[in-house]
Amino acid sequence: MLSHTSFTLLASNHIAELQRHAKSQRLARTAYPDRERTPRVLWHWANR
């Protein structure tokens, strides 16, 4: 059983990670509004 403090730390770490991910997703959406083309461009860039 985790102590309350370590659980709170874990939870806040997890929330921060989720927020960071959401922010990067939001940035990716604004940077690439054309969601159809983006994966193909990334795939091409990765495989050239």
* pTM of the full structure: 0.42
The count of domains in the chain is 1
Q: Domain range for residue 41?
A: 4-47
The encoded tokens of residue 24 equal 């990067």
Residues with Cβ within 8 Å of 29's Cβ and at least 6 positions away in sequence, in order, are: 35
- pLDDT (tens place) for every residue of the chain, 48 residues total: 667 788 888 888 888 888 888 888 777 766 665 555 556 666 666 666
Q: Where are the alpha helices (DSSP H) in 1-48?
A: 4-31, 37-47
- For tokens 């940077």, name the residue: 31
